């Protein structure tokens, strides 16, 4: 991915957690790889927690360096990276301070990117302040999630930002879209003639999408307790994955063709009737338990969490898509913290053969299944039935594996690296358009409302398990079960 596009990358929240763990390491990787960032490109960190550039560089050395290059840091590349960094200390709450930012960047070359790695309450004031000093012209703005708390608040942010930046200047990040395997899903579906004809209700019985984490809320108790898994993971990552799994083939990979097709899926999601919520949605909260041999505490005792919290840390849903391709096929979505394993995967369960000429053992052995493992260990596994050796016709389920790291040993990119390069190079396809975001909120909101009105506590589950029993029971009603395999 060679580029000669020069840029000035302004990072608001330059000493925040996201900058430290993701954004600056991703920019470093792009710098280290060579040829991805124009030599003249600059990073301008904006923060209050450092007095001047040398203090900021010291902070970067202490806090960012440990997060880069797992295999050791290339010191020459690191020094070159630090040379790209400038620093501006301004108070983000004071619009008049933005004059200093303008003065600092006005002679820097290339496209301007403003990355808002700050709390969402600062999005609108920052945009107004940028406009007040004319910095919104010919610039791109990157917004991190969460973008709002519900449809109303997300619309309020989008309206306010939209008064200052045109939609094609706005890059809404959903880092799942930058993950290599998610890209590969597009390649699998639309680059191969084999799967697409089967990718429909006639051949697919059900689809599962799981994003399971072993981690708890870590240091984000305050934020998470006001958010919950539905807002944190379902409204964005899971619905984005669902839309890519279910979308029609786009006519090209240009940004609007892909996003138009995803939007059609989001708009076709069958609204959840509040009376059915108990049948199609499960919410849970982790209690204490053991993960990989270590005892871990209950959610309600985590720092920043209210002891009587009813926030969900687990969600399982049955979703339907009301269109010709998918009518009647259940999509089961699930996400949770402190689960038995860290895994993100998509499971396509195909229908069994209509008539088994091979007898009862064929039926017992199951049906075809395609498992797309996004993380860890990106693999695609296709389950088929084969005859067991020996006398008689006894079938067993066997699988074909495609492990990507066996084919491609180099060139893997972290999600943030790809997405930041896309912003710098003006590629919008992997960013969420406003209408997609609205459609996702619109679908999620009745679930949030019903949970609020009914005020039932979430179902408890022990840390280190796969969530509340009700999640498995929901699938059992459809004659299926979650795929839970060892990594
Ligand atoms: C973030 C959520 O968007 O995604 C976190 O806010 C979650 O709660 C994270 O842990 C998971 O991302 P990944 O890439 O580690 O699967």
Q: For the domain covering 177-413+434-476, report its CATH number.
A: 3.30.360.10
- Strands 42-46, 331-336: parallel, antiparallel or unpaired by DSSP? unpaired
User: Ligand 1, atom 14: nearest CA belongs to which residue?
Assistant: 176
Instruction: Note down pLDDT in tens along the chain; length 487 residues.
Output: 545 689 999 999 999 989 999 999 999 999 998 889 999 999 999 998 888 999 999 999 999 999 987 667 899 999 999 999 999 999 888 888 999 999 999 999 899 999 999 988 899 999 999 999 999 998 999 998 888 899 999 999 999 999 999 999 999 999 999 998 898 999 999 999 999 999 999 999 999 999 999 999 988 899 999 999 999 999 999 999 999 999 999 999 998 999 999 999 999 999 999 999 999 999 999 999 999 999 999 999 999 999 999 999 999 999 999 999 999 999 999 999 999 999 999 999 999 988 888 877 777 778 899 999 999 989 999 999 999 999 888 888 999 999 888 888 777 788 999 999 999 999 999 999 999 999 999 999 999 999 999 989 999 999 999 999 999 999 999 999 999 875 4
- Same CATH fold, 177-413+434-476 and 7-144? no
Report how far residue 295's alpha carbon sits from residue 416's, in angstroms, rounded to the nearest whole number: 32
SS3 151: helix
**CA of 217, closest atom in ligand 1:** 8
Burial class (CB in 10 A: 0-12, 13-18, 19+), 336: buried
Count Cβ atoms below 10 Å from residue 73 Cβ, excluding itself: 15
Is there a contact between 343 and 259 (Cβ–Cβ < 8 Å)? no
- Enumerate residues 6+ apart whose C-beta is below 8 A from 51: 89
User: Ligand 1, atom 13: nearest CA belongs to which residue?
Assistant: 176
Report how far residue 405's alpha carbon sits from residue 334's, in angstroms, rounded to the nearest whole number: 27
CATH match of 7-144 with 3.40.50.720: yes
User: Ligand 1, atom 9: nearest CA belongs to which residue?
Assistant: 233
- Catalytic residue flag (residue 63): no
Report how far residue 13's alpha carbon sits from residue 144's, in angstroms, rounded to the nearest whole number: 11
* Segment (H or E) for 123: helix 123-132
| Rama region for 357: left / alpha / beta (φ>0; ψ in -120 to 50; rest) | alpha
DSSP for residue 276: G
Count Cβ atoms below 10 Å from residue 386 Cβ, excluding itself: 11
Ligand 1 centre distance from Cα of residue 116 (Å): 18
DSSP for residue 63: I
CA dihedral sign of residues 364, 365, 367, 373: positive
Q: Which of 25, 213, 223 to mutate to test the pocket of ligand 1 (most atoms within 8 A of CB)?
A: 213
Candidate list 31, 175, 237, 287, residue with the active-site label: 237
**CA of 344, closest atom in ligand 1:** 16
Q: Which of 120, 145, 232 to mutate to test the pocket of ligand 1 (most atoms within 8 A of CB)?
A: 232
| Rama region for 11: left / alpha / beta (φ>0; ψ in -120 to 50; rest) | beta
Q: Which of 23, 233, 376 to mutate to test the pocket of ligand 1 (most atoms within 8 A of CB)?
A: 233
| Contact residues of ligand 1, CB 6 A cut-off | 213, 232, 344
| Domain coordinates in residue numbering, the chain | 7-144, 177-413+434-476
Is there a contact between 101 and 135 (Cβ–Cβ < 8 Å)? yes
């Amino acid at each position: 991915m060679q580029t000669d596009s020069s840029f000035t990358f302004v990072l608001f929240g330059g000493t925040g957690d996201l900058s430290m763990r993701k954004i600056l390491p991703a920019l470093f990787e792009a710098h280290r790889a060579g040829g991805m960032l124009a030599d003249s490109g600059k990073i301008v960190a904006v923060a209050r927690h450092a007095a001047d550039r040398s203090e900021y560089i010291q902070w970067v050395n202490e806090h960012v360096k440990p997060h880069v290059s797992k295999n050791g840091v290339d010191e020459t590349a690191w020094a070159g990276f630090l040379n790209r960094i400038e620093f501006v200390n301004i108070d983000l709450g004071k619009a008049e301070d933005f004059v200093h930012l303008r003065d600092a960047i006005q002679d820097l070359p290339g496209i301007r990117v403003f990355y808002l790695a700050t709390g969402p309450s600062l999005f609108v004031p920052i945009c107004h302040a940028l406009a007040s000093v004319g910095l919104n012209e010919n610039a791109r703005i990157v917004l991190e999630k969460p973008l709002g708390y519900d449809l109303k608040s997300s619309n309020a942010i989008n309206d306010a930002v939209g008064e200052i930046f045109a939609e094609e200047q706005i890059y809404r990040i959903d880092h799942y879209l930058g993950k290599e395997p998610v890209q590969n899903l597009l390649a699998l579906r639309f680059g191969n003639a084999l799967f697409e004809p089967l990718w429909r209700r006639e051949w697919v019985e059900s689809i599962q999408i799981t994003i399971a984490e072993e981690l708890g809320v870590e240091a984000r108790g305050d934020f998470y307790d006001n958010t919950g898994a539905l807002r944190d993971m379902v409204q964005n990552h899971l619905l984005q994955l669902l839309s890519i799994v279910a979308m029609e083939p786009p006519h090209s990979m240009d940004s609007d063709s892909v996003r138009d097709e995803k939007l059609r899926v989001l708009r076709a999601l069958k609204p959840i009737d509040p009376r059915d919520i108990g049948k199609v949605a499960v919410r849970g909260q982790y209690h204490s338990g053991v993960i990989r041999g270590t005892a871990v505490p209950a959610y309600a005792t985590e720092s920043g969490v209210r002891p009587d919290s009813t926030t969900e840390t687990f969600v399982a849903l049955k979703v339907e898509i009301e269109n010709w391709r998918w009518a009647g096929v259940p999509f089961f979505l699930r996400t949770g913290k402190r689960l038995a394993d860290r895994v993100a995967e998509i499971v396509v369960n195909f229908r069994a053969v209509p008539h088994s000429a091979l007898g009862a053992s064929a039926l017992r052995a199951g049906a075809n299944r395609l498992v797309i493992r996004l993380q860890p260990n990106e693999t695609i596994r296709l389950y088929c039935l084969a005859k067991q050796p020996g006398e008689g016709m006894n079938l067993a389920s066997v699988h074909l594996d495609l492990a990507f790291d066996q084919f491609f040993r180099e060139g893997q990119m972290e999600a943030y690296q790809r997405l930041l390069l896309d912003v710098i190079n003006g590629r919008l396809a992997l960013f969420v358009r406003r209408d997609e975001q609205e459609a996702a909120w619109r679908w999620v909101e009745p679930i949030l409302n019903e949970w609020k009105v009914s005020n039932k506590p979430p179902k408890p589950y022990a840390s280190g398990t796969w969530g509340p029993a009700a999640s498995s029971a929901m699938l059992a009603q459809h004659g299926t079960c979650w795929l839970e395999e060892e990594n």
